[in-house]
Amino acid sequence: MTWTRREFLAEVARTGVFSAQYAEDVLVRLAHHSAAIEGNILTLADTITLLVDERVPVAGTPVRELYEVANHYQALARILSAVADGEPLTTSLVRDLHAALMDHLTHEHGEYKTASNGEYKTASNIVTGASWQPAPPASVPELMRQWADQTEWQTANLDNEALLEAIAGAHIAFERIHPFADGNGRTGRTIIAWQTIRRFGFPAIIQVTQRPAYITMLDTQDTAALTRLLAVSLADEATRRSAT
């Protein structure tokens, strides 16, 4: 793996956003749930073994499954760095998060390779089972620039329910653009974590048990339902944060 637990905790200490204990707690849950929503087979216990104990949880686990989880070391560290430094949401930050999450996971499709990690897609893609089509590659750079500008303004200036509604709407819009060849879901949920840590001091984490409802919300563009899901997540997280 490109990052170790020691490197992650060193960055946590540098930023001062979270305690080491709470940072590892967030890391494990964010990595497990976000990867599992995409079909990753590692359990929560497996994730603890991999990220905290730094051992391969089950012999024979596909390497891809390990990287999908372990890459959250880098992604969460990048979030905490952005929060600590007061960094605004830009397309560069989004691409950094994607590059971290997709380290060692570049796909081969047919006779061509998809865009490099952190780079926008160069070929059309689809979302299996979705009732809509992602934006075409040629439209992505401008759509993402507009999306980042609007989302940054909303994140910085809105409050309370209006803020959560904006975060939900921005997430749905991001997934509709689907700017990358792969890793869009994990990147989008990491952006939610960054937005909520920045404004509330702790993340909204969508759990794998909520996957069916969450996928439906994305497919039907149900911003109101996703707003409620994020509100429940934040309320639960507030209690958890206060206990650490």
Query: pLDDT tens digits for 5-63?
Result: 999 999 999 999 999 999 999 999 999 999 999 999 999 999 999 999 999 999 999 99
- Residues of the chain with pLDDT > 90, as a percent, come to 89
- Distance separating alpha carbons of residues 32 and 51, to the nearest angstrom: 10
pLDDT for the residue 112: 36
- Distance separating alpha carbons of residues 109 and 101, to the nearest angstrom: 19
Q: Do the annotations mark residue 118 as ligand-binding?
A: no
In order, the DSSP letters of 178-206 are --SSS-HHHHHHHHHHHHHHHHHSS----
- Number of structural domains, the chain? 1
Q: Do the annotations mark residue 187 as ligand-binding?
A: yes
Mean pLDDT of 195-201: 98
| pLDDT band (50, 70, 90) for residue 243 | confident
Q: Do the annotations mark residue 71 as ligand-binding?
A: no
Packing angle of the helix pair 44-51, 20-37 (nearest 10 deg):
130
Mean pLDDT of 161-189: 97
Q: Do the annotations mark residue 182 as ligand-binding?
A: yes
Domain span including residue 178 = 5-242
Residue 95, domain CATH: 1.10.3290.10
- Distance separating alpha carbons of residues 8 and 10, to the nearest angstrom: 5
- Distance separating alpha carbons of residues 75 and 35, to the nearest angstrom: 13
The mean predicted confidence, pLDDT, of the chain is: 94
User: Residue 183, exposed/middle/buried by CB under 10 A (0-12, 13-18, 19+)?
Assistant: buried
CA nearest 177: which of 140, 122, 145? Answer: 140
Show which residues are catalytic: 178
Exposed e or buried b for every residue in 103-119, given b needs 16+ CB within 10 A? beeeeeeeeeebbebbb
Q: Which residues have CB under 8 Å from 235's CB, separation 6+? A: none
Q: Do the annotations mark residue 6 as ligand-binding?
A: no
- Distance separating alpha carbons of residues 177 and 181, to the nearest angstrom: 11
107, pLDDT greater than 80? no
Q: Do the annotations mark residue 160 as ligand-binding?
A: no
